[in-house]
Structure 1
Amino acid sequence: MYLWEIFVDSQHLKKSYRITAIIGFISKGIIYLVIGIFSLLAALNMGGESVGTNQALIFLKRQIFGQTLLVLMGAGLLCYSYWMFVQAFKDPENMGSDRKAFLQRFGVFSTGLVYIFVAFLAFYHLFTYSIDDDKTSQYLDFLGPHLLSIIFIIVGIVLGIQAVILILGVFRGRLLDQFNLEGRRNSQLIRRLGQFGFYSRAFIVAIIAYFFLRAGIYTGNHEIKGIQDAFSFLEQSFLGRALMAFTAAGFIAYGAFYVLLSRFRNFEEKE
């Protein structure tokens, strides 16, 4: 009887992890779908504008039942962070404990921290009545220009490494393998969406890394840049709107990939 109770508890925990992960996947997917759709409309001159994560949350707030949407989004992103931490510490899918697995689990943990910030950003917008889209990082000026330059250079290097890791991970197949889609219906379609989406995200991360490095090394302009700024940069580049549209489509694919994971991902342990 005691062994049966342990089995039941284990199955209950796995089910709770799965439900939490599914809610998180959908929430993350919606954010990237909003970013991608609005940026694509802007690239096609169809009334949209390039947006980032913050602007996507503002868009949700302005809809009917906007505050309810923000609560659901914030809670969903906390679920996603929780699933990242479960993978990092409890390893429910048996990633392992060797060097490669440790790096993978550390990356998962870092992702969890990022989406905790995004979740609290969603909750922050619940209690704000006016949005100042032009607000910059002037509140960091107390650190001094020299220290800020060093920080921006470090952030730029870290983001550049992240972009390279994303590209190599998708190219070699390891990044998508972690989602454990093998044997699932439509797995090849989902993998193609994921590949396109991850390449696009890596491209945007590389541009943001360039912003930070340029600010830290050359300009001394310590304004924090993000996804919206990266899309605006693409719009003003040589290929302009075509490149912006292609990358925005990649973000739509990235968002769709995470939404589809809620239906098709396999949560069984890897052999």
Structure 2
Amino acid sequence: MATGSVTAGGQDRVRRAANSKAVDVAARAGFVARGIIYVLIGVLSLRIAFSGGGEQADRGGAIAEIAQKPFGTVLLWLLGIALAGMALWRLSEAAFGQAGPDGGKASKRAMAAGRSVFYGFVAYSVLSFAAGDKGSGSGKSDKNSQDVTAKALDWPGGQWIVGVAGAAVTAAGLWIAARAVMRKFEKHLKMQEMSARMRKAVDFFGVFGGAARGIVFATAGGFAIAAAVQHQPGKAKGMDDTLRTFAGTPAGPWLLALIAVGLMAFGVFSWANARWRKV
């Protein structure tokens, strides 16, 4: 009985730590960092749309952009630490469930675990770049995508693996866009604490930004499917080439500009999450 009490007490302390003020601050700092990255990707995309700039419109381009600014290395350290905070918060959600009545569902905890791994990787790449490893974090997403696709296509059943992965990314993008349009994000925010004008603004940024982000993901997944079907790794595209593809449509640079503004809107929405997210 004593052993059981000690175990229960230890679990309770871990749970309290997961719901502590420190984790709350870490999560909100992570949303701020995510917002900065998406706003910068949007700005870089706008430059490409109207000037054909050579910058990378992806996370690597955003990191390189920050590094060029005064105190850029310090800013990257802060950004990486904030993203590590996001990973920690997602890990706590995986272990103990999310805020809300259905936050303990296995599916939600599994998604939180996946997000924790993703943000952990992003934090590591940013911190590595800040520490002097210039090949980390700022790598071109298109080359990385093509290299990974080429390796996967050489595996037994590689075409199926790449095709299924592409279909999963496409489905995830459509799911992200659909949930944004349906305003599913509202249940995660303290909407009652906002003024009527602020609620409208947050709704706009959430719908517009989430839809744009979902479209980019879905389009990238479509390119992965094409690479699998045609057995051509060069067909796979990272975020940078995916965004540039929008400029090659009949709508020209205006479609890319619209997506770019949408990504910036998602960045602003991330900052709203930093203020009103239920953690």
> Which TM-score band (shorter chain)?
0.7 to 0.9
User: Per the alignment, do residues 235 and 12 of structure 1 end up closer, same or farther by CA in structure 2, a change over 3 Å counting?
Assistant: closer
With normalisation by structure 2, the TM-score equals: 0.81
Partner residue, 2:5: none
Give 1:199 deviation, angstroms: 0.1
Question: CA separation of 1:74/1:45 partners in 2, compared to 1, >3 Å: closer, same or farther?
Answer: same
Which residue in 2 is equivalent to 1:226? 238
Alignment-derived partner of residue 71 in structure 2: 65
Aligned to 2:21: 15
Aligned to 1:114: 118
| Cα-to-partner distance string for 1:77-132 (whole Å, 9 max, x where unaligned) | 1111111222232225234267xx43333323322222112112212323334676
* CA distance in structure 1 between the partners assigned to 2:52 and 2:92 by the alignment: 42
On the 8 A contact 1:149/1:220 being kept in 2, the answer is: no
- For residues 224-243 of structure 1, give each alpha carbon's deviation from its aligned partner in whole angstroms, at most 9, with x where no partner exists: 52211111110111112111
Please say if 1:150 is aligned against 2:160: yes
Change in Cα spacing, 1:261 to 1:139, as seen in structure 2 (3 Å) is: closer
Which structure has the higher relative contact order (CA within 8 Å, separation 6+)?
Answer: 1
Aligned residue pair count = 259
Contact 2:190 2:277 in 1 (8 A): yes
How far is the alpha carbon of 1:27 from its aligned partner? Answer: 0.6
Structure 1 residues 156 and 132, CA, compared in 2 at 3 Å: closer, same or farther? Answer: closer
Aligned residue among 65, 86, 100 for 1:94: 100
User: Any stretches of 5+ residues in structure 2 without a counterpart?
Assistant: 1-11
Aligned partner of 1:171 in structure 2 is 181
Between the aligned partners of 2:48 and 2:149, the Cα distance in structure 1 is: 31
Q: Secondary structure at the match of 1:238?
A: coil
Residue identity (%): 21
Pick from 130, 133, 140 the counterpart of residue 128 of structure 1: 133
Measured in 1, the distance between the counterparts of 2:220 and 2:184 equals 24
Structure 1 pair 118/139, CA: closer, same or farther in 2 (3 Å)? same
Query: Within 2, Cα distance between the matches of 1:262 and 1:140?
Result: 35
User: What is the SS of the residue equivalent to 1:225?
Assistant: coil
Indicate which of 257, 260, 267 corresponds to 2:272.
Answer: 260
Read off the aligned partner of 1:250 and give its amino acid letter. Answer: G
SS at match of 1:44: helix
Tell me the distance in 1 between the aligned counterparts of 2:189 and 2:254. Answer: 31
Gaps of 5+ in 1: 1-5
8 A contact 1:181–1:266 mirrored in 2? no
- One-letter amino acid of the structure 2 residue matched with residue 154 of structure 1: V
Tell me what 1:3 maps to. Answer: none
The letter for the 2-side match of 1:40 is: L
TM-score using structure 1 length: 0.83
Match of 2:41 among 22, 35, 38: 35
Task: Say which SS state the counterpart of residue 41 (structure 1) adopts.
Answer: helix
Verify: 1:162 aligned to 2:162, yes or no: no
CA offsets per residue over residues 50-84 of structure 1, 9 Å max, x none? 51112111222222222222221111111111112
Superposition RMSD in Å: 2.9
- What is residue 3 of structure 2 aligned with on the other side? none
Contact map agreement 1:77 1:115 (CA 8 A) in 2: yes
> Structure 1 CA distance, aligned partners of 2:148 and 2:178?
36
Contact kept? 2:149, 2:236, Cα under 8 Å: no
